[in-house]
């Protein structure tokens, strides 16, 4: 924990600086907070930018006691816990630029401790070469440690970011892990490398698509798909559940929500359209790397 916390804080600063450079118009604010049960964090938010409609980069370092019922659902022992993490959620203004998220966290419960996290890509219009670049970047970062990791993390990501009530994935996946334990030294080295891979995985896609023209119909589709994002985060996201059930700061936990969303009753895209092609891919995860 002593080594991880300053790394996460420095990573937060680097991410915000690079995202401000990309956007060119808006800046991140600073919102420090304290948790009544122990610890606190710093939430940094950017809104109304030229590229990023909303971006959140939230650091937390908390400790205390878990509710008894929640403690039993975790793999550790007892109610005492400590956790540190950084969550990143980027909602671009243009529907041609994919949304993305990354999260890295460390949790200690009693004598047990483990890392969790990952990153996924949520396009509204699918560019195959963009999805391939995103996945190749994560594969290369994993391969520097063990070539067996990326296939495992990719498959877990496909299973995790899935809406069973819709029969479709949230996006085109990425990497996900929730149980890196054992030798925590090597695990920390992997987690640091994955952190450093996030911007190279996503920034080129934003630079490439930011000027692609779009209209009101594409914006409406983006807002419909954002509805799926909200459904997943509120119904299935473990980080959201952990934060709310451990007395975390609600505003910082729900920073992941997109700023503009819509739901339409029984909506189906036109057959043969780019929107329909996206849905086909979301229902049948594919290999990208």
What's the rounded Cα separation, in Å, for the pair 22 and 10?
A: 19
Q: CA dist 222 to 25, 98, 125, 186, 219, Å?
A: 22, 10, 8, 40, 5
What's the rounded Cα separation, in Å, for the pair 9 and 19?
A: 16
Q: Write down the residue that tokens 């910082």 correspond to.
A: 252
Q: Determine which one of 61, 101, 133, 135 is catalytic.
A: 101
Task: Tell me if 40 sits within 8 A of 32, measured CB to CB.
Answer: yes
Active site residue 101: yes
Look at strands 173-180 and 112-122 and give their pairing. antiparallel
Q: Which tokens go with 72?
A: 């039993």
Q: Which tokens go with 253?
A: 């936990």
| Residue numbers annotated as active site | 101
């Amino acid at each position: 924990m002593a080594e991880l916390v300053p790394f996460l804080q420095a990573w937060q600063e680097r991410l915000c600086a690079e995202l401000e450079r990309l956007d060119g118009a808006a800046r991140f604010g600073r919102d420090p907070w304290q948790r009544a049960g122990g610890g606190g964090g710093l939430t940094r938010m950017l809104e109304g930018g030229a590229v990023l409609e909303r971006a959140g980069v939230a650091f937390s370092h908390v400790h205390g006691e878990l509710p008894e019922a929640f403690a039993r659902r975790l793999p550790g022992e007892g109610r005492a816990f400590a956790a540190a993490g950084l969550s990143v959620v980027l909602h671009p203004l243009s529907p041609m630029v994919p949304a993305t998220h990354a999260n890295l966290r460390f949790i200690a419960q009693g004598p047990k401790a483990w890392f969790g996290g990952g990153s996924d890509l949520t396009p509204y219009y699918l560019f195959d070469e963009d999805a391939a670049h995103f996945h190749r970047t994560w594969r290369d970062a994993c391969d520097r440690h063990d070539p067996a990791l990326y296939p495992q993390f990719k498959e877990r990501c496909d299973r995790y970011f899935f809406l069973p009530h819709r029969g479709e994935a949230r996006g085109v996946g990425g990497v996900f892990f929730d149980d890196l334990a054992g030798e925590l030294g090597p695990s920390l080295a992997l987690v640091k490398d994955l952190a450093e891979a996030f911007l190279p995985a996503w920034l080129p896609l934003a630079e490439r698509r930011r000027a692609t023209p779009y209209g009101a119909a594409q914006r409406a589709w983006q807002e419909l798909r954002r509805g799926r994002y909200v459904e997943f985060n509120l119904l299935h996201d473990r980080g959201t559940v952990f934060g709310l059930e451990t007395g975390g700061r609600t505003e910082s936990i729900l920073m992941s929500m997109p700023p503009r969303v819509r739901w339409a009753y029984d909506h189906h895209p036109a057959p043969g359209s780019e929107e329909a092609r996206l849905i086909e891919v979301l229902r049948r995860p594919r290999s990208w790397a």
